[in-house]
Amino acid sequence: MADAASQVLLGSGLTILSQPLMYVKVLIQVGYEPLPPTIGRNIFGRQVCQLPGLFSYAQHIASIDGRRGLFTGLTPRLCSGVLGTVVHGKVLQELGPGNVQKEVSSSFDRVIKETTREMIARSAATLITHPFHVITLRSMVQFIGRESKYCGLCDSIVTIYREEGILGFFAGLVPRLLGDILSLWLCNSLAYLVNTYALDSGVSTMNEMKSYSQAVTGFFASMLTYPFVLVSNLMAVNNFLLVMPLLIPIYYTSWIDWLWHGNMSRGNSLFFRKVPFGKTYCCDLKMLI
Mean pLDDT of the chain: 84
Can you tell me the mean pLDDT for 153-178? 94
Q: Which residues contact 159 (CB under 8 A, 6 or more apart)?
A: 149, 150
- Res. 243 pLDDT band, cuts 50 70 90: low
Q: Which residues contact 32 (CB under 8 A, 6 or more apart)?
A: 141, 144, 247, 286, 287
User: How large a percentage of the chain has pLDDT more than 70?
Assistant: 84
Can you tell me the mean pLDDT for 211-227? 80
- Cβ(8)–Cβ(74) below 8 Å: no
Predicted confidence (pLDDT) per residue in 49-87, tens digit: 889 999 999 999 999 999 999 999 999 999 999 999 999
- Cβ(244)–Cβ(141) below 8 Å: yes
Q: State the Cα–Cα distance between residues 111 and 115, nearest whole angstrom.
A: 6
**Strand, helix or coil at 273?**
strand
Q: State the Cα–Cα distance between residues 253 and 174, nearest whole angstrom.
A: 12
- Cβ(233)–Cβ(172) below 8 Å: yes
Q: State the Cα–Cα distance between residues 199 and 20, nearest whole angstrom.
A: 38
What local confidence, expressed as pLDDT, does residue 284 receive?
76
Give the gyration radius of the chain's Cα atoms.
21
Domains for the chain: give ranges and CATH numbers. Answer: 1-279 (1.50.40.10)
Can you tell me the mean pLDDT for 140-153? 88
In b/e form, how buried is each residue of 60-75, taking b as 16+ CB within 10 angstroms?
A: ebeeeeeeeebebbbb
What local confidence, expressed as pLDDT, does residue 103 receive?
46
Q: According to DSSP H, which parts of 96-172 are helical?
A: 107-141, 153-164
- Res. 18 pLDDT band, cuts 50 70 90: very high
Q: Which amino acid is at 37?
A: P
Q: For residue 85, how many other CB atoms are within 10 A of its CB? A: 20
- Res. 211 pLDDT band, cuts 50 70 90: low
pLDDT of 204 strictly over 60 = no
Predicted confidence (pLDDT) per residue in 247-272, tens digit: 665 666 677 877 776 667 888 889 88
Count the alpha carbons within 13 Å of 26 in the hemisphere toward its beta carbon. 31
pLDDT of 137 strictly over 80 = yes
